[in-house]
A and B are shown apart, each in its own frame.
Chain A
Amino acid sequence: MMMIFGIPAPLLFGQLLLGLINGAFYAMLALGLSIIFGMLNIINFAHGALFMMGAFAAWVLLHYLGIGYFPALILSPILIGIFGIVLERTLISQLYKLDHLYGLLLTFGLALVIQGLFRNYYGSSGMPYDIPDALQGATNLGFMYLPIYRGWVVIAALVVCFSTWAIIEKTFLGARLRAATENPAMVRAFGINVPRLITITYACGVGLAAFAGVLAAPIYSVNPDMGDNFINTVFAIVVIGGMGSILGSIITGFGLGVIEGLTKVFYPQASATVVFLVMVIVLLFLPRGLFGKTA
């Protein structure tokens, strides 16, 4: 058997792949949080719950309406995005004039309420969601077997993350978004409806979380607490990448997923803490994070 640094190659690559998959979810969730933070100036603590709702939406669509995985990949983000619009218009928008802490408290409370409701209706044991037929099986890459679904998750996440990045950095709509993040009052004075832009931004950030939720459904069981497993790490990643930095969230998300995977191979005891260790080190030297703008 091939060995790398005294580790069997399949084990190393297996953990690398797992790390990459976790990284894909980290990146999508951190990206949504970053977009929302940039525009709304609130840390969306409900993000994990909305990720979970995305997975549940896929499950509900399949079990009650017979709508399969691929349509759900589009429908679920739309449904949860609409739910996000309602949340933003009715609750979150009431807090823009107050301290950021209120937004944090509100979204944290929302997360608890949403999770509580789902636990009440569906229990906490979790529901299975099958991998769609088209993505079943595995392929031999020569040095390891790659389950096709896992490869798909990484590719889908990369495509979605970099499309989002390109829309924000390269398009006309993105330019408005960046300008409104920098100086909302002036952008309004140009005749652009910034409150509506804020609502759309929140809906898109939430939609990204729901998309990640659907991708996650066949890998992890669909259960009310599935967001919790990710969200603490994701907050750390947003901080490491630099609050509000789009590219920073994507790169840090994938990067730390991989670092976590490698830690599982070389020093498994530290795998749960390595992200926070990185956070401490990064913040010691770069208080604004790896990609944070210096004011």
Chain B
Amino acid sequence: MLEVKDLNAWYGESHVLHGASFEVREGEVVTLLGRNGAGKTTTMKSIMGLVPRRQGSIRYRGAELIGAPPERIARAGIAFCPEERAIFGSLSVTENLMLPPVVAPGGLDVATIYELFPNLKERASTAHGTKLSGGEQQMLAIARILRTGAKLLLLDEPTEGLAPVIVQQIGRTIREIKKRGFTVLLVEQNFRFAATVADRHYVMEHGQVVDMIPNHLLESSMDKLHEYLGV
């Protein structure tokens, strides 16, 4: 579904990605693991067209997206939930939810979204999206891209800084949307959480993908993983 080959990316003068390659197959949940600064977020932003300069190949369902502007990448059916969540303070909760345009049929309708995220329904009339708690903002950031019909979701550290009970809820949500046919590329620091949702894990180091570990081999690869992640 998504094939990334020899991806290079730069922020101004600094060369962040050095030929990263990996693939995500339809219906999978795949994580990018790695230390801070390994290039996980930059990989996501490069796929989304949000990095000023990039080279290599990003193919989505056969179409080359490396030179495309972000709005075209989104229209191709890829949606992004950034680490900082990007909830808009000048928009109400409902406006935040309805902001991303529908790009393809097959997105979840609002009733289903409220079933998945009952908290959002209660807070729907909140006048400023940023008045929500961190957990609620994260839910909203995921919920709004489920509406659009995009089938590949890029989730950048959705559990960061959240209470364990909310992390569990996000885990349940990711398993639920996988069941509904979405494909997920997940950036995670917390590989114990990643193990509960993912099919495969790519390990990134210094702007490259250095290893791939299927989820069922994660336990037996602990030593290797500890070395990669330095934990």
Residues of A within 8 A of B (CB): 172, 175-176, 178-179, 181-183, 185-194
Contact = CB atoms under 8 A, between A and B. Distances in A.
Given A178-B91, A179-B91, A182-B90, A191 B100 contact: yes
A192 B90 contact: no
Interface residues of B, number: 25
Given A172-B95, A175-B95, 13 more contacts: A182-B89, A185-B70, A186-B86, A189-B48, A190-B71, A190-B74, A190-B100, A190-B101, A190-B148, A191-B101, A191-B103, A191-B148, A192-B71
A194 B86 CA distance: 16
A57 B147 CA distance: 46
Contact of A188 (B69, B88, B95, B99): B69
Contacts of A182: 88-90
Nearest to A183: B86
Interface of B: 48-50, 69-71, 73-75, 79-80, 82, 86, 88-91, 95, 98-101, 103, 145, 148
Contacts of A189: 48-50, 70-71, 73-74, 80
Contacts of A185: 50, 70
Nearest to A38: B90
B91 A194 contact: no
Contacts of B71: 188-194
A187 B100 CA distance: 8
A175 B89 contact: no
Contacts of B86: 183, 186
B74 to A, nearest CB: 3
Given A179-B91, A183-B88, A188 B70 contact: yes
A249 B79 CA distance: 36
B229 to A, nearest CB: 28
